Structure formats: structure tokens, C-alpha cells
Amino acid sequence: MSHPAPPAPAPVEFTHRQILTILGGLMMGMFLAALDQTIMATATRTIADDLQGFDLQAWATTAFLITSTISTPLYGKLSDIYGRRPFFLLAIGIFIVGSFLCGLSENMWQLAAFRAIQGLGAGGLMSLALAIIGDIVPPRERAKYQGFFLAVFGTASVLGPILGGFFAGADTLLGTDGWRWVFYLNVPIGLAAMAVVARVLHLPHHRVDHRIDWPGALTLILALVPLLTVAEQGREWGWGSGRSIACYVIGGIGLIGFVLAERAYKDEALLPLALLGKRTVAVGVTASTILGMAMFGGLMTVPLYLQIVKGSSATLAGLQMIPFVVGIMTGSIISGQLISRTGRYRIFPIVGSVFMVISLYLFSLVGADTPLWRTMLVMVLMGLGLGSNMQPMITAVQNAVSPREIGTATGAVTFFRSMGGTLGTAVFLSVLFNVLPGNIEKAYTAAQPTAEFQQAIAADPSQAETLKVAMSGAGLSDTSFLSRLADPISHPFKVGFADSVHVVYLIAFFVMILGLIVVFFLPEIPLSQRSAQQARAEEAAVKEGSEAPA
């Protein structure tokens, strides 16, 4: 005797006020993930010194990246099956526990292990928040609300370095090492986010039974762990060393296994190949990978330029990034409002990519003596490009897939953007440190015969010894000696660094041109006026009607 199917939950219409309340909880969760990435940038050095593990600090970053990247598509798939709310609460909970444990770390290996736990939570915070908005807001209106998310990302980008610099600079706070508050800060924010989400986020969920693609998850781990590890460590190990080659081989085997698992699981796969076969999704994930590369590759060099070439402190460099954040927020708000009014989205990723191409080229022209205001104008342009690009692309992908696939599709775009960012950071840092010694040497060779340089050396001969240490390569891991040098002696180092940054931006420029070409293939599909959960409820009602006895 067959049991009748459970009745489909009635679609719920959310008012603007209800959406804003739910958005508050989601934004707190996203703020946790975004702040954690930026706050670490300025605090890592102090943490590594305190835990006597400066040479191991990359593992703390790598562990977080690996677990957050791998868990992103898993959260998307599992939340499609069991509902978003429990997994969003779980992600916040895991993140809080991981953060608290990080604050208790006694050595660098412990910190790396606890950062891995933190990453397991972070993987769900960003992608699930975007998927939940997809559930409750029709695509036509979605971009308008998603602009708030980029505002959170932007605010965290500014606050992170400032807070990181403040906590790292304080020896003790409330009887605890200052840097430990970088992690403890997440606990009250996370608990508040959990309380808000538990109270306001009530989505109707119609359970759909699926097979969980565990072989896909395991082979994805086998592929990504060695490849992300070599991306982070390859510069130190040597790209052709035995350890690096072993990582390539294991990663390659994992990748082949992953593709085979996805083919076997078809629609139930972690990243369904049929989904990636849809033109909008294929363009979305390819463009997001390239955008991630160009964005992270470009962005991580701007604070370095501000600190080394312009002499800004970590905190000041964070404040000097505000024009970039203003650009992101302006771009996302304008594109969101226009998509909502016109129902057209294709033009925005194209315009955003054009802005990115122009800004990366202009960044490649910035030198040691370029006025700061000019660099800041380029930051605004790059921010406008990112703001016009990221959210409209997610809206396009969510609109192109079935309402049941929103979590999976959103997870896929976030996953590939994160992969692109990791790859971009590794490649561009590698390029930067490869060309840096030669460019610094060239700049000093040009400066040594000048009268200003000779007079500065004659006035304080000890500076020549400091310079010798810097030129031996030790200066590349610690640039604090620049503040002890007279300006004519430190200036060539800054010129060499700026010249090296040019190379990074030129590569990012060519990468982004490729991204612009890809975006031109994005189709314009009319934006749906229904939210995903309304569409799911209607689908279920139609199915029930067709299965009912005549």
C-alpha cells in the first residue's frame, strides 16, 4: 500500500520588512566570515611571532582555505535536501567553536588545526546566505537586497585590518594576549547571529530525498588538499621539487576520481556535470574563477604597496582601502537597483569587467612616487567593477537553474570564486617574490652613482651594512629596516618593489581580459518574478495534481 506524499508547504510571501529582518541575521553570519579573512591579514605576523612559528604561518591560512573551500559545495547540496536554516545555524556554531579554540592555541600546529575547524563553518556562511536570499526573494528583486551583502564584505574589509592592527598591537587585553581577541571577538558576534537567525529565519521546506555524493566529496578532498597545499607552499619548496610533484600527481588522481564520481551520480552529484553544462552556469563559474584570481591577486598587493612603498602602518593601510570599499558598495547598489527596475542583468558583469580591466592596467602604471590620491581613484574604479560583477552574476546563475538547485548552483559559483582567489594569491605572490630581488638590485644599481645616495651613505656609514643585509634577501621577509634608512637609501628599494608590483598587475590585467571575453557569452534570460520557495511549492502542487487519482 503506497503512502500519500506529504502535502507541499504553502508558499510564503515575505514582506519587505520581513526580508530586511532575515537579512539582518544573514548579514551577521556573512560579517563573521568576511571579517575573519581581513582581520588575520594584519595580525598574522604578531600571532606567528608569539607562537614561535613564523615559518609555519602559511599552514594556518592553508588549513582554513582547504576546509572552507571543500565544505562550500557540501553545504549547498545538503541544504537543498534538508533545508537552509539548520545548516546555516550549524555553520555559525562550528565557526564559533573553531574561533574559541583558535584563541586558546599554544603553538602554530594547534592554530592550524583549529583554523581548519573554523573553515568548516566559514564554508557555509557565505554560500548559504546567498542561497537563502534566493529562496525568499524573486530574481528580479534579488540584486537589490544582495547589494547589502557586498556592503558587509566592504565594511569588513576596512574594519578587519584596523581591528587586527589594534588587537595585535595590544600586549594584553583583559589579562589575555591582545592577538587572541582576533578570534574571541567572533564568539559574541556569532552568538548574536545565531539568536537572530533562530528567531527570524523560518522557511517552509519540502523535503526531497537524495543520495549524498560522498565519493564526490572524498575525491574532491583528495584533489584539493594537495593542490591548495602546493599553491601555498610551492614557492618555498620549489615548484619542481619532489614534494610539489607528489602533490600534482595526487591532486590529478583526485580530480579524475571526482569527475568519474560526478558522472556516476548524475543529478545527485555534489557539482552536477549537467548543471555545469548549462550555458549561464558554465559562464558564471568560469567568470567567477577568473574574477577571483584577478581580485585576490590584485587586492593583496595594494596593502603591501601602501605599507612598504608609502610607509603606512597596517591600521592606516586598512583605512586607505576605504575608496575601494566605497566603489564596491556603490557598484553593487546601483547595479542592484537598475536590475530591479529593468529586469536586465547581462550588461552589468560586462561593464564591471571593463572597469576591472581598466583599473588593473592603471594599477600597473602606479610607481613609487605616484601621489596617493591617484592610487585611491583607481581603487574606486576597481571597487565599482567588482560591485557591478559579483552579485549580478550570482543572480544570473540562480535565475537559470531549477529552484531545487539554487543551493548547489550558488555553492558552485562561490566555490569556483574561492578556488580562483586561492590560485591567484599563490601565483601572484610567487611572481612578486621571484621578480623582486632583481628589480631591487636594478634600482640600487641606478641610484648608487647619484650625489644624494653617496651623501646619505657618507653621513651614516652603518646604513650601508643595513642595506647589505636587505640585499642579501633577508629584507624580503622583514621590511621594517626601511624605517631606519635615510630616504635616498630606502627609496630605490621602494622603486624596486613598485616595479615588481607592476608585473603582478600586468598579469592580472591579461587574466581579466580573458574574464571579459567569457562574460560576453552570458545569455540574458528574463528574470523570474517568483522566489525559489514559491516556485518549489507550485512545482510540488502541480506534481501532486498530476499524481492524484482521476
Query: How far from 522 is each of 338, 342, 418, 518, 526, CA to CA, in Å?
Result: 18, 17, 20, 8, 13
Burial class (CB in 10 A: 0-12, 13-18, 19+), 472: exposed
pLDDT at 198: 86
Please check whether residue 540 lies inside any domain of the structure.
no
pLDDT at 387: 84
End-to-end CA distance of the chain: 18
> Cα-flanking dihedrals φ and ψ of residue 176, to 5°?
-125, 150
Please check whether residue 357 lies inside any domain of the structure.
yes
**Mean pLDDT score, 523-541:** 69
Higher pLDDT, 449 or 380: 380
Question: Which of the residue ranges 29-33, 72-76, 155-159 would you say has the lowest mean pLDDT?
Answer: 155-159
Question: Which of the residue ranges 228-237, 393-402, 467-476, 505-514 would you say has the lowest mean pLDDT?
Answer: 467-476
Please check whether residue 534 lies inside any domain of the structure.
no
pLDDT at 136: 80
pLDDT higher than 80, residue 205: no
Is 503 found in the same domain as 461? Answer: no
Is the distance from CB of 313 to CB of 371 less than 8 angstroms?
A: no
Please check whether residue 541 lies inside any domain of the structure.
no
Is 156 found in the same domain as 22? Answer: yes
- For CA atoms 79, 80, 81, 85, the dihedral sign is positive
pLDDT at 542: 64
What are the pLDDT digits (tens) for 31-40? 888 787 777 7
Sequence-separated (6 or more) residues with CB below 8 Å from residue 119: 63, 64, 65, 66, 67, 68, 69, 71, 98
- For CA atoms 491, 494, 500, 502, the dihedral sign is negative
Share of the chain above pLDDT 90, in %: 14
Query: How far from 173 is each of 185, 186, 426, CA to CA, in Å?
Result: 12, 16, 34
pLDDT higher than 50, residue 503: yes
Please check whether residue 542 lies inside any domain of the structure.
no
Cell of 110: 594547534
Cite the beta strand spans of 211-313 per DSSP E: none
Is 137 found in the same domain as 35? Answer: yes
| Final residue before a domain boundary, out of 163, 179, 202 | 202
Domain count for the chain, please give it.
4
pLDDT at 206: 62
Would you give the DSSP letter of residue 497?
Answer: H
Is 251 found in the same domain as 188? Answer: no
pLDDT at 512: 92
Q: The domain that contains 72 carries what CATH number? A: 1.20.1250.20
Question: Which of the residue ranges 4-13, 288-297, 308-317 would you say has the lowest mean pLDDT?
Answer: 4-13
What are the pLDDT digits (tens) for 428-446? 877 887 787 778 778 877 7
Is the distance from CB of 49 to CB of 244 less than 8 angstroms?
A: no
Is 277 found in the same domain as 222? Answer: no
Please check whether residue 533 lies inside any domain of the structure.
no
| Final residue before a domain boundary, out of 202, 231, 261 | 202
Query: How far from 153 is each of 184, 230, 411, CA to CA, in Å?
Result: 20, 28, 17
Query: Among 63-72, 99-108, 303-312, 409-418, which range has the highest average pLDDT?
Result: 99-108
Helical (H) or strand (E) element with 64: helix 57-82
Q: What angle do CA 175, 178, 182 make, to 5 degrees?
A: 125
pLDDT at 305: 81
Closest CA relative to residue 386, chosen from 159, 156, 153: 153
Is the distance from CB of 269 to CB of 261 less than 8 angstroms?
A: yes
Is 323 found in the same domain as 309? Answer: yes
Is 236 found in the same domain as 192? Answer: no
Please check whether residue 51 lies inside any domain of the structure.
yes
> Cα-flanking dihedrals φ and ψ of residue 269, to 5°?
-65, 155
pLDDT higher than 50, residue 400: yes
Q: What is this structure's pTM? A: 0.78
Amino acid at 364: S
> Cα-flanking dihedrals φ and ψ of residue 173, to 5°?
-135, 120
Is 419 found in the same domain as 280? Answer: yes
Higher pLDDT, 169 or 71: 71
Is 257 found in the same domain as 276? Answer: no
Is the distance from CB of 384 to CB of 352 less than 8 angstroms?
A: yes
pLDDT higher than 90, residue 518: yes
pLDDT at 5: 45
User: Which neighbouring-strand residues pair with 176?
Assistant: 173
pLDDT higher than 70, residue 193: yes
Mean pLDDT of the chain: 79
Please check whether residue 295 lies inside any domain of the structure.
yes
Is 466 found in the same domain as 362? Answer: no
Instruction: Give the span between the Cα atoms of 134 and 76, in whole angstroms.
Output: 12
Share of the chain above pLDDT 70, in %: 82
Is 171 found in the same domain as 48? Answer: yes
- The domain in which residue 155 lies consists of 14-202
Question: Which of the residue ranges 190-199, 228-237, 465-474 would you say has the lowest mean pLDDT?
Answer: 465-474
Q: What is the 3-state secondary structure (H, E, C) of 114-162?
A: HHHHHHHHHHHHHHHHHHHHHHHCCHHHHHHHHHHHHHHHHHHHHHHHH
pLDDT confidence tier of residue 509, bands split at 50, 70 and 90: very high
Is 169 found in the same domain as 54? Answer: yes
